[in-house]
Amino acid sequence: MAQKTMKFKTELDQLLHLITHSLYSHREVFLRELISNACDAIDKVRFEGLTNTELLDGESDWKITINADKEARTLTISDNGIGMSQEAVIENLGTIAHSGTKAFLAKAKAMGAQNNPELIGQFGVGFYASFMVADEVTVITRAHGGEAVKWTSKGTGSFTLSDADRATRGTDVVLHLKDDAAEYLDAWELRSVVKKFSDFVEHPIILLTTEKDEEKGTEVPKEEQLNTRKAIWLRPKGEISDEEYSEFYKHISHDFKDPAETIHYNAEGAIEFKALLFLPAAKPFDMVWNNDPKAHLNLYVQRVFISNDFDNLLPGYLRFVKGVVDSSDLPLNVSREILQENPQLDKIRKNLVGRILKTLAQMKEQDSKKFSKFHDEFGSILKEGLQSDWENREKIADLLLFETTARPAGEKTGLGDYVENMGDREEILYLAGESRAAIEHSPFLEAYAADGREVLLMTDPIDEFVIPQLMEYKGKKLKAVNKGGIEEDQEALAESTKAFAELLGHAKELLPGVKEVKLTGRLKESAAVLVGDEYSMSPHIEAMMRRMGQEVPERESVLELNPEHPVVQKLQALYAANKQDPKVATYAKLLHDQAVIASGAKLEDPAGFAARLNEVLAG
Compute, in degrees rounded to 10, the torsion defined by CA atoms 467, 469, 474, 480: 50
Render the burial of 290-318: b for 16+ CB within 10 Å, e for the rest.
Answer: eeeeebbbbbbbbbbbbbeebbebbbebb
Q: Is the pLDDT of residue 457 over 70?
A: yes
* Per-residue pLDDT tens over the stretch 144-158: 889 999 999 988 778
* Per-residue pLDDT tens over the stretch 559-604: 999 999 999 999 999 999 999 999 999 999 999 999 888 887 788 8
Listed range (82-86, 312-316, 326-330, 340-344) with the worst mean pLDDT: 340-344
- Reference 533, options 587, 592, 485; nearest CA is 485
The pLDDT assigned to 116 comes to 47
The pLDDT assigned to 292 comes to 77
Contact (CB, 8 A) for 120 and 304: yes
What DSSP designation does 255 have? -
Global model pTM greater than 0.85: no
- Reference 303, options 416, 205, 163; nearest CA is 205
Sequence-ordered alpha helix ranges (H) in 228-384: 242-253, 285-289, 343-366, 368-382
Alpha-carbon gap, residue 545 to 458, rounded angstroms: 18
Contact (CB, 8 A) for 193 and 32: yes
- Those residues with Cβ within 8 angstroms of residue 309's Cβ, 6 or more apart along the chain or in another chain: 296
Q: Is the pLDDT of residue 539 over 70?
A: no
The pLDDT assigned to 429 comes to 94
Contact (CB, 8 A) for 276 and 267: no
* Per-residue pLDDT tens over the stretch 193-209: 999 989 988 899 999 98
Q: β-pairing, 456-458 with 427-432?
A: parallel
- Reference 156, options 141, 171, 135, 179; nearest CA is 135
The pLDDT assigned to 194 comes to 95
Sequence-ordered alpha helix ranges (H) in 125-185: none
Alpha-carbon gap, residue 227 to 196, rounded angstroms: 9
The pLDDT assigned to 97 comes to 47
The pLDDT assigned to 101 comes to 44
What's the one-letter identity of residue 205?
A: I
* Per-residue pLDDT tens over the stretch 210-220: 887 777 777 78
Alpha-carbon gap, residue 418 to 420, rounded angstroms: 5
Contact (CB, 8 A) for 107 and 143: no
What DSSP designation does 532 have? B
Alpha-carbon gap, residue 131 to 128, rounded angstroms: 6
The pLDDT assigned to 121 comes to 44
Q: Among residues of the chain, what percentage have pLDDT more than 70?
A: 83
- Those residues with Cβ within 8 angstroms of residue 565's Cβ, 6 or more apart along the chain or in another chain: 523, 526, 527, 528
Q: What mean pLDDT is predicted for residues 469-491?
A: 83
Q: DSSP letters along 327-362, please?
A: -S-S-B-TTS--B--SHHHHHHHHHHHHHHHHHHHH
Phi, psi of 585 (to 5 degrees): -65, -40
Q: Cα angle at 528 between 525 and 533, to 5 degrees? A: 120
Q: Is the pLDDT of residue 392 over 70?
A: yes
Alpha-carbon gap, residue 585 to 227, rounded angstroms: 80
Angle of the 86-93 helix axis to the 100-110 helix axis, nearest 10:
120
* Per-residue pLDDT tens over the stretch 13-69: 655 666 665 556 678 889 998 998 899 899 888 888 877 877 776 667 899 999 999
Mean pLDDT of the chain: 84
* Per-residue pLDDT tens over the stretch 337-373: 445 556 777 888 899 999 999 999 999 999 999 999 9
User: Domains, the chain, ranges and CATH?
Assistant: 12-225 (3.30.565.10), 232-368 (3.30.230.80), 400-480 (3.40.50.11260), 490-617 (1.20.120.790)
Termini Cα distance of the chain? 106
Phi, psi of 297 (to 5 degrees): -115, 150
Residue, of 98 and 212, whose pLDDT is higher: 212
Q: 3-class SS at 430?
A: strand
